[in-house]
């Protein structure tokens, strides 16, 4: 697939940080930055930006905060045309923590939000835009959004928000390709002046496939992570995405090189990828938190019991 | 997806046998049969049927030959509505080895073939049909078939062959969804009186996604394996497929139950799944044999060197 407008964002450190509470070694972040830069990846999301007055630095690693000096240190001396991004969560950042863009090494701020928090998300995305950043709105848990509420949120973004891109975020890895197409149609219909992005999770081994589907349907901004690292089942593997895209600016080789050096050793220490409990939460369109909890118990491979525990929930 | 005509075939033992030279314990085969039977899977392919006069029983396990007594022993006493299938390779079986269907526990014979061997494949499929079996033709390495040759082969099947289903076999895990759709269109156009089947490999994490795509495009016969076991990157995971299909006759629970009991221990001994060398051969549309050889060496995780060895081949 060749379409010049397509941009790729690596969120290895940002989404991967959800597994290890953002405690990555500097050397890891540096080698990932070196690899994605050499690979011609357009953006690297290097972590979250959060306020230390809201979240305690004792409880999270530095990539939850992405202070300027830390980011500068990690990328120092590495040749790169890759822009830097951070993600912000509603309620975990004060506006004053966002420096004017000209004083920051960060180029883009992505606002992660649920549909219900759209007012706050737009406010934050506009704050970032007003300070000179590129900004995006990433609508999480999209597979659980109600159709009318999503319509209204997208309409509001189109009318009020300065973000240049709005992401479909399949937080639960629950979408099949037909639903991706359906969401893309909705986004395209309402978001006349925005680009559309795709952030997929791999619970059902559809992270990459759904990303391709979104591209076919017109998405021009897509996320991947090296070796698919990311919370629970992880994300669309960047190496596959780069193998698929035909723009000659991309080079898969630095990604292939960094995987055995940095990702395989890390995978020995922390877990992500295709594991049945995550496939099951994906099938049920549920947050993986119960599966993540299960994986820390002796029952971690009792898939049948886990499946039945989700099936049996009494609801009315 | 609900369509009553859709049939699922489990080829855990057959395709998995390509990793371990068909040396499965009886207990493994028995437990897989028990699980797929309880799950309502329509067919189980229990191995290859080959002639002991052509292939030596000293070099292959019993599931390369599937002698009647062995198959009967493995399934004895297990309640099941699952039909049994074997695969045959051109040149590895004598017609006399195929018993009349009424004397056999096998219900279906699938003929694996390259486009170039279509005359022989049709002859073998018709032999099976004439002896009372259901039969299929499975066109391997379809991603390397020339368009005109494939047209001719399909036309010949339509006119001369008694097989009820013709499979797209993505042996190299090289297909993207758009190519699946393109092949499905071709099959549907030529094969007016046949069903279409899909057998996908998972090199690029597209085994399941491409199987769904084929179903969307009209395929009514699809292959999967428990926990995705199969040569190299393996196949479409049966558990995901059963999770996707909405026919109430299918029950995912026995599959979830057998994975930790039989597949996880096996995965400790033999290797399959998403490994970069297989992703790379998939991207290059090549047989995984070089990647399989690499995985047995100390260089098994030198992905960059492997990629460059495939890129650098001098051709004219």
- Interchain contact A252–B (C-beta under 8 A): yes
Average pLDDT, chain A: 97
- Interchain contact A239–B (C-beta under 8 A): yes
- Interchain contact A286–B (C-beta under 8 A): no
CA A139/CA A112 separation, integer angstroms: 6
- Interchain contact B304–A (C-beta under 8 A): yes
CA distances from B107 to B45, B81, B83 (A): 10, 12, 6
Residue A313 has pLDDT above 90, yes or no: no
Helix (H) or strand (E) holding B7: strand B7-10
List chain A residues with CB under 8 Å of B279: 239-240, 243
User: Does A276 contact B256 at a Cβ distance shorter than 8 Å?
Assistant: yes
List chain B residues with CB under 8 Å of A302: 260
User: Does B256 contact A216 at a Cβ distance shorter than 8 Å?
Assistant: no
Angle (nearest 5°) at CA A205 between A202 and A206: 75
pLDDT digits (tens, 9 = 90+) for A233-243: 999 999 999 99
Interchain CB contacts (distance < 8 Å): A and B = 92
pLDDT digits (tens, 9 = 90+) for A147-168: 999 999 999 999 999 999 999 9
Distance from CA of A75 to the nearest CA of B (A): 23
> Which ranges of chain B would DSSP assign to H, the alpha helix?
12-16, 26-38, 68-75, 118-130, 147-160, 177-190, 207-216, 238-244, 253-258, 264-269, 276-283, 289-294, 303-311
Average pLDDT over residues B278-293: 97
Average pLDDT over residues A131-144: 98
Distance from CA of B284 to the nearest CA of A (A): 10
Q: Is B89 left (phi over 0), alpha (psi -120 to 50) or beta?
A: beta
Residue B144 has pLDDT above 80, yes or no: yes
- Interchain contact B143–A (C-beta under 8 A): no
Residue ranges of domains in chain B: 7-269, 276-311
For B307, the closest of A210, A244, A256 (CB atoms) is A256
| Residues 79-118 of chain B whose Cβ lies under 8 A from any Cβ of chain A | none
pLDDT digits (tens, 9 = 90+) for B66-102: 999 999 999 999 999 999 999 999 999 999 999 999 9
- Interchain contact B205–A (C-beta under 8 A): yes
- Interchain contact B202–A (C-beta under 8 A): yes
pLDDT digits (tens, 9 = 90+) for B167-199: 999 999 999 999 999 999 999 999 999 999 999
CA distances from A145 to A154, A158, B25, B277 (A): 12, 18, 48, 39
> pLDDT value at position B314?
65
List chain B residues with CB under 8 Å of A276: 239, 256, 259
pLDDT band at residue B2 under the 50/70/90 scheme? confident
SS3 call for B31: helix
Q: Best interface-test mutation with A: which of B276, B283, B284 has the largest number of A CBs within 10 A?
A: B276
User: Does A253 contact B279 at a Cβ distance shorter than 8 Å?
Assistant: no
Residue with tokens 């028990």: B34
> pLDDT value at position A96?
93
Residue A177 has pLDDT above 80, yes or no: yes
User: Does A244 contact B176 at a Cβ distance shorter than 8 Å?
Assistant: yes
Is CATH 3.20.20.70 the right assignment for the domain spanning B7-269?
yes
Within 13 Å of residue A119, how many CA atoms lie on the same side as its CB?
Answer: 1
Average pLDDT, chain B: 97
pLDDT digits (tens, 9 = 90+) for A59-116: 999 999 999 999 999 999 999 999 999 999 999 999 999 999 999 999 999 999 999 9
CA A266/CA B164 separation, integer angstroms: 49
Of A17, A13, A5, A97, give the one whose Cα is nearest residue A51.
Answer: A97
ipTM: 0.95
User: Does A307 contact B253 at a Cβ distance shorter than 8 Å?
Assistant: yes
- Is residue A53 within 8 A of residue A11, CB to CB? The reply is no
CA B106/CA A32 separation, integer angstroms: 53
Q: Best interface-test mutation with A: which of B240, B272, B291, B297 has the largest number of A CBs within 10 A?
A: B240
pLDDT band at residue A192 under the 50/70/90 scheme? very high
Residue A314 has pLDDT above 70, yes or no: no
- Interchain contact A40–B (C-beta under 8 A): no
User: Does A177 contact B216 at a Cβ distance shorter than 8 Å?
Assistant: yes
Q: Best interface-test mutation with A: which of B179, B201, B235, B239 has the largest number of A CBs within 10 A?
A: B239
Average pLDDT over residues B291-315: 92
The percentage of residues in chain A with a pLDDT greater than 70, rounded to a whole number, is 98
CA B42/CA B80 separation, integer angstroms: 10
List chain B residues with CB under 8 Å of A308: 253
């Amino acid at each position: 697939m060749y379409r010049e407008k397509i941009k790729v964002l690596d969120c290895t450190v940002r989404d991967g940080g959800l597994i290890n509470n953002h405690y990555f070694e500097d050397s890891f972040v540096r080698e990932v930055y070196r690899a994605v830069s050499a690979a011609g990846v357009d953006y690297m999301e290097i972590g979250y930006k959060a306020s230390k007055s809201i979240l305690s630095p004792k409880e999270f690693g530095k990539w939850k905060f992405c202070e300027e000096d830390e980011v500068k240190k990690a990328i120092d001396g590495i040749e790169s045309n890759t822009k830097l991004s951070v993600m912000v969560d509603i309620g975990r950042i004060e506006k004053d923590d966002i420096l004017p863009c000209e004083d920051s090494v960060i180029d883009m701020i992505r606002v992660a939000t649920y549909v219900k928090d759209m007012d706050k998300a737009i406010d934050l995305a506009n704050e970032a835009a007003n300070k000179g950043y590129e900004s995006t709105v990433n609508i999480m848990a999209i597979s659980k959004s109600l159709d009318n509420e999503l319509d209204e949120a997208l309409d509001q973004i189109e009318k009020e928000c300065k973000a240049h891109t709005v992401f479909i975020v399949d937080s639960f890895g629950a979408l099949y390709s037909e639903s991706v197409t359906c969401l893309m149609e909705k986004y395209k219909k309402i978001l006349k002046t925005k680009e559309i992005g795709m952030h997929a999770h791999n619970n059902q081994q559809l992270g990459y496939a759904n990303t391709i589907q979104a591209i076919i349907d017109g998405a021009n901004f897509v996320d991947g992570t090296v070796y698919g690292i990311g919370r629970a089942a992880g994300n669309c593997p960047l190496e596959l995405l780069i193998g698929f895209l035909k723009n000659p600016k991309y080079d898969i080789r630095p990604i292939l090189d960094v995987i055995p050096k940095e990702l395989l050793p890390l995978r020995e220490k922390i877990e992500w990828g295709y594991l049945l409990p995550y496939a099951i939460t994906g099938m049920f369109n549920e947050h993986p938190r119960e599966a993540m909890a299960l994986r820390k118990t002796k029952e971690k491979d009792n898939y049948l019991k886990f499946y039945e525990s989700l099936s049996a929930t009494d609801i009315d």
